[in-house]
């Protein structure tokens, strides 16, 4: 959802799409378009780009047992493979705004989508070295697009931000759901097996890059308006609680992306069925992501909604481990509602805990840059525990521990207050 947030001085700003960073680098006029047809083409291009921002995560998890078997990967190396692109989401978020200021967001997004295409295709070679290199490249490209794409939506669709946000969010979650549901069937259908099934997801990335290229090359860079620095954010207790909430809920989400399907398969579920359960979870994430922010705005603060979503996510993941296999899809639904609500809440808290749009942009950079690096330890530790114990009981307990820690941070992050920063030279 996209909400209009009123500041203390009576001015207002429009929040960008939930689930992505707030940035204020695209303050120039919209790039020239060729009438209504060009505007429609722009919207289709942005949605297609968004469709490529999650498939790299969920596609690998559904065939991870085969990847480990054919490459001789231990659980530790497998967890490193699932963690690598998540770490990239944090590391490569930081340079993206500077690149856009210098080269223009459109051209940087084009370069990033080429990197995503090449990285996803490299995984099709099936060798562990190419899997790691491809995952690194895809994660880096996705991180850059994550940061820059919402700014274009905000700039070029000022009168239909809500509509574009809906399409954008649906495409984002749809890519994760589609990759989870169809990778295993593609593995059985294509002669190349699981490497070919992973490489297939480079096709929509290539299509989006080809469609975007003429628009990106036509656009000129927009010089960014100088902004005074926001000082003291990294010394603010509330800012760190918001960052901790973002990182912990993201760690839980990427444990689901990386290990839910392998956990179900370890319990005896067939690969396609395990991918289907993960797909169901992601679809309900999408629905919750659209519905929860308005629910969160109704209360005096957001603490109770945060705790409710955490309880649903924890109960759902535990259900996938403990429930009889024919009922595991129920756990997937509960987890999806909780996880979708949590990412929406994490972005909503960034907006609500900031006194103005400028501070919100800086808090978002802190929360997502640091938060995604923290989130990378989720699937990594889950894999290490799986390898050390030979069971998914320990990763499930880790998921609960992350949920408990996120609950503690939510008690402060969800309280009605502003972060305290100093602006100006």
**CATH label of the domain that carries residue 247:** 1.20.1250.20
Global pTM reads 0.74
Domain boundary among 173, 206, 226: 226
| Residues contacting 402, CB < 8 A, separation 6+ | 248, 251, 252, 255, 378
Distance CA 135, CA 328 (A): 29
CB-side exposure of 320: number of CA atoms within 13 Å?
Answer: 36
Distance CA 424, CA 422 (A): 7
What is the domain extent for residue 320? 227-419
> Do 239 and 380 have their domain in common?
yes
Determine the 3-state secondary structure of 30 from DSSP. coil
> Do 253 and 215 have their domain in common?
no
| Residues contacting 38, CB < 8 A, separation 6+ | none
343: number of Cβ within 10 Å? 23
> Do 415 and 295 have their domain in common?
yes
> Do 276 and 145 have their domain in common?
no
> Do 202 and 320 have their domain in common?
no
Domain boundary among 226, 241, 261: 226
**Contact of 351 with 19, CB cutoff 8 Å:** no
pLDDT per residue of the chain (425 residues) written in tens, 0 to 9: 444 444 444 444 444 444 444 444 444 445 555 566 777 888 888 889 988 988 888 888 889 889 999 999 988 898 889 889 888 888 888 888 778 878 888 899 999 999 999 999 999 999 999 999 999 999 999 988 877 776 676 677 766 655 665 577 677 777 887 888 889 899 989 998 999 999 999 999 999 999 999 988 887 665 444 455 556 778 899 999 999 999 999 999 989 988 899 999 999 999 889 988 988 898 898 888 778 877 877 778 889 999 999 999 999 999 999 999 999 999 999 999 999 889 888 877 887 888 765 676 678 778 878 888 888 889 889 988 998 999 999 999 999 999 999 999 999 999 988 888 766 55
Return the closest-CA partner of residue 209 out of 99, 117, 135, 89. 117
**Contact of 51 with 208, CB cutoff 8 Å:** yes
Distance CA 420, CA 191 (A): 58
Determine the 3-state secondary structure of 11 from DSSP. coil
Please indicate, yes or no, if residue 154 is contained in any of the structural domains.
yes
42: number of Cβ within 10 Å? 23
CB-side exposure of 183: number of CA atoms within 13 Å?
Answer: 32
Distance CA 299, CA 321 (A): 33
Domain boundary among 226, 255, 272: 226
> Do 263 and 221 have their domain in common?
no
Determine the 3-state secondary structure of 12 from DSSP. strand
> Do 147 and 292 have their domain in common?
no
């Amino acid at each position: 959802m996209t909400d209009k947030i009123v500041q203390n001085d009576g001015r207002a700003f429009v929040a960008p799409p939930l689930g992505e960073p707030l940035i204020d680098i695209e303050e120039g006029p919209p790039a020239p378009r060729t009438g209504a047809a060009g505007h429609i083409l722009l919207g289709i291009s942005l949605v297609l780009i968004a469709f490529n921002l999650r498939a790299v995560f969920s596609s690998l998890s559904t065939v991870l047992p085969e990847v480990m078997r054919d490459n001789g990967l231990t659980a530790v190396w497998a967890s490193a493979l699932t963690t690598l692109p998540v770490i990239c989401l944090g590391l490569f978020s930081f340079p993206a705004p500077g690149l856009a200021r210098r080269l223009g967001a459109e051209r940087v997004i084009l370069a990033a989508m080429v990197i995503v295409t090449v990285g996803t295709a490299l995984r099709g070679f099936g060798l562990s070295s190419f899997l790691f290199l491809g995952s690194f490249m895809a994660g880096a490209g996705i991180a850059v697009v994550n940061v820059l794409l919402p700014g274009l939506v905000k700039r070029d669709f000022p009168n239909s931000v809500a509509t574009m946000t809906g399409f954008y969010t649906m495409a984002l979650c749809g890519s994760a759901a589609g990759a989870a549901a169809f990778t295993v069937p593609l593995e059985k259908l294509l002669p190349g097996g699981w490497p070919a099934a992973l490489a297939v997801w480079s096709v929509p990335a290539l299509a989006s890059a080809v469609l975007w290229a003429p628009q990106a090359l036509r656009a000129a860079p927009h010089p960014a308006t100088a902004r005074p620095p926001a000082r003291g954010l990294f010394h603010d207790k509330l800012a760190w609680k918001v960052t901790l909430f973002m990182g912990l809920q993201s760690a839980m989400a990427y444990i689901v992306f990386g290990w839910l399907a392998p956990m179900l398969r370890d319990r005896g579920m067939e690969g396609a069925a395990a991918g289907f359960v993960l797909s169901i979870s992601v679809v309900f994430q999408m629905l919750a992501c659209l519905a929860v922010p308005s629910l969160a705005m109704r209360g005096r603060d957001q603490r109770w909604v945060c705790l409710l979503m955490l309880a649903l996510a924890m109960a759902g993941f535990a259900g996938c481990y403990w429930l009889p296999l024919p009922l595991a899809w129920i756990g997937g639904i509960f987890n999806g509602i909780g996880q979708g609500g949590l990412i929406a809440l994490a972005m909503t808290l960034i907006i609500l805990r900031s006194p103005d749009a400028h501070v919100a942009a800086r808090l978002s950079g802190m929360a997502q840059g640091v938060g995604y690096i923290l989130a990378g330890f989720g699937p990594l530790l889950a894999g290490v525990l799986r390898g050390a114990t030979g069971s998914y009981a320990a990763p499930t307990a880790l998921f609960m521990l992350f949920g408990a820690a996120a609950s503690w941070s939510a008690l402060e992050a969800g309280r009605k207050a502003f972060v305290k920063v100093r602006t100006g030279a």
